[in-house]
């Protein structure tokens, strides 16, 4: 029985809109949390020519139903995935992760094509074959790496590596004079489709670099690479250096503008604060001044009180009218020299003076 094709899947490609990092769609959901422990392997995956295969046991391919039910630990389902894997990125890793998780017990073999095949059938690569082999070796989902993998899979190759299923996205891959290099694999019921990750590919990465070529050329020149290493002409090298200097000047001007804006903002804040404090202090000063020197101020009350005390101090004390009068004994009167008249007295003491004069006259008569 053939494995399910892409028509039975929800979607062949991941959604671009509303997708998360590395093309993860919202339909993926939030993965459950796992306990803190090490999941990575400590060594890279071995090459196929370094792995011993027991050819004494006959090679019997596992059917799709048997693979889905689960196989014994000593007989995992051998899944093969091939590719160029230039500039190894998250899209490659996700495809290999899907191939690894096709069945409960999967042994993933990854074939990497050589530079010669790739340059002849697809085009020039950024990384050489050894770099691409090493990148795939260090992917956690890979169990074995086949170097110099064939462009078209033959029955002999499938039998040599005892492959049960071939994993790849189900887009027809036209190359080497064929409309689909995986057509015979699909007809044999050995094809297991995976989904591509939208928004990330080797071609997309190269497009970004080509689009911003000047930026990356200037970046590497600044980091110490020579114009010869970057294949940059003498004129372009000088142009890039000039642009770098202009950018530095622009950056300095921008920094000065930002600092000046910050300084002006701080001055404005401080001036507003000072004005507010000055207004508060001025109100307080005016209030205190009016309280002291105003029409009803404390100074006026102080002056009134002082004036009253002064008048009270200089004026004679008068006995109250209701108090009883005390009779005083008559005292001899004082005579002014060379005068028979007595000194003037106050009206209140006239009666006393009259009695005194009478007394004096009687004494003269007796004399």
**The residue to which tokens 């949390």 are assigned:** 33
- In this prediction, residue 359 has a pLDDT band, given cuts at 50, 70 and 90, of very low
Q: Which residue has the higher pLDDT, 286 or 93?
A: 93
- In this prediction, residue 7 has a pLDDT band, given cuts at 50, 70 and 90, of very low
Give whichever of 2-16, 151-165, 338-352 has the largest mean pLDDT: 151-165
Q: Tell me if 3 sits within 8 A of 164, measured CB to CB.
A: no
Domains of the chain from N-terminus onward = 48-200 (3.40.50.620), 203-306 (no CATH)
Q: Which residue has the higher pLDDT, 358 or 303?
A: 303
pLDDT at residue 246, as a whole number: 85
Q: What is the pairing mode between strands 165-169 and 77-83? A: parallel
pLDDT at residue 144, as a whole number: 96
pLDDT at residue 355, as a whole number: 47
Q: Which residue has the higher pLDDT, 356 or 179?
A: 179
Q: Tell me if 150 sits within 8 A of 176, measured CB to CB.
A: no
Residue 331 has pLDDT above 60, yes or no: no
Give whichever of 18-32, 127-141, 260-274, 343-357 has the largest mean pLDDT: 127-141
Looking at 53-57, 62-66, 261-265, 338-342, which range is the least confident one?
338-342
Residue 278 has pLDDT above 50, yes or no: yes
Reading phi first (left if > 0) and then psi (alpha if -120 to 50, else beta), residue 18 is in left
- Rounded Cα distance between 79 and 166, Å, is 6
User: Residues 6 or more apart from 143 whose CB is under 8 A from it?
Assistant: 45, 107, 108, 109
Q: From residue 339, give the alpha-carbon distance in Å to each of 334, 336, 343, 367.
A: 11, 5, 10, 19
pLDDT at residue 295, as a whole number: 75
Q: Which residue has the higher pLDDT, 230 or 46?
A: 46
pLDDT at residue 335, as a whole number: 53
pLDDT at residue 39, as a whole number: 60
Residue 311 has pLDDT above 90, yes or no: no
Give whichever of 130-134, 312-316, 353-357 has the largest mean pLDDT: 130-134
Could you give the 3-state DSSP secondary structure of residue 132? helix
pLDDT at residue 291, as a whole number: 75
Residue 26 has pLDDT above 60, yes or no: no
pLDDT in tens, 64-96: 999 999 999 989 999 999 999 999 999 999 999
Global pTM reads 0.60
pLDDT at residue 140, as a whole number: 94
pLDDT in tens, 189-214: 999 999 999 999 999 999 999 999 88
Residue 350 has pLDDT above 90, yes or no: no
| Among 187, 231, 234, 194, CA closest to 213 | 231
- In this prediction, residue 138 has a pLDDT band, given cuts at 50, 70 and 90, of very high
- In this prediction, residue 114 has a pLDDT band, given cuts at 50, 70 and 90, of very high
- In this prediction, residue 360 has a pLDDT band, given cuts at 50, 70 and 90, of very low
Q: Kindly report the backbone phi and psi dihedral angles of residue 131, in degrees, each rounded to the nearest multiple of 5, phi listed first.
A: -65, -40
Q: Which residue has the higher pLDDT, 287 or 138?
A: 138
- Rounded Cα distance between 272 and 69, Å, is 78
């Amino acid at each position: 029985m053939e494995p399910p094709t892409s028509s039975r899947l929800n979607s062949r490609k991941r959604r671009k809109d509303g997708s998360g990092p590395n093309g993860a769609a919202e339909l993926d959901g939030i993965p459950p949390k796992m306990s803190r422990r090490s999941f990575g392997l400590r060594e890279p995956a071995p090459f196929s020519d370094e792995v011993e295969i027991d050819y004494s046991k006959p090679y019997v391919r596992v059917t799709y139903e048997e693979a889905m039910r689960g196989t014994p630990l000593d007989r995992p389902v051998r899944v093969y995935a091939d590719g160029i894997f230039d500039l190894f990125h998250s899209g490659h890793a996700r495809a290999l992760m899907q191939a690894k998780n096709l069945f409960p017990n999967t042994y993933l073999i990854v074939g990497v094509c050589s530079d010669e095949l790739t340059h002849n059938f697809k085009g020039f690569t950024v990384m050489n074959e050894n770099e691409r082999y090493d990148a795939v070796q260090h992917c956690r989902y890979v169990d074995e790496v086949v170097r110099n993998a064939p462009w078209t899979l033959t029955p002999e190759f499938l039998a040599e590596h005892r492959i049960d299923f071939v994993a790849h996205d189900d887009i027809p891959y036209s190359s080497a004079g064929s409309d689909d290099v995986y057509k015979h694999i699909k007809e044999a019921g050995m094809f297991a489709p995976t989904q591509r990750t939208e928004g990330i590919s080797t071609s997309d990465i190269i497009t970004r670099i080509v689009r911003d070529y000047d930026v990356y050329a200037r970046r590497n020149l600044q980091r110490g690479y020579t114009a010869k290493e970057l294949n940059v002409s003498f004129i372009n090298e000088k142009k890039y250096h000039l642009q770098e200097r202009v950018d530095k000047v622009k950056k300095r001007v921008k920094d000065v503008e930002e600092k000046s804006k910050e300084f002006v903002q701080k001055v404005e804040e401080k001036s507003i604060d000072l004005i507010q404090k000055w207004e508060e202090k001025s109100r307080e000063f005016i209030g205190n001044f009016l309280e002291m020197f105003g029409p009803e101020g404390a100074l006026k009350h102080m002056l009134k009180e002082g004036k009253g005390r002064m008048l009270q101090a200089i004026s004679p004390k008068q006995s109250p009218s209701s108090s009883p009068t005390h009779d005083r004994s008559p005292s001899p009167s004082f005579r002014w020299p060379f005068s028979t008249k007595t000194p003037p007295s106050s009206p209140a003491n006239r009666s006393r003076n009259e009695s005194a004069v009478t007394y004096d006259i009687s004494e003269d008569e007796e004399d």
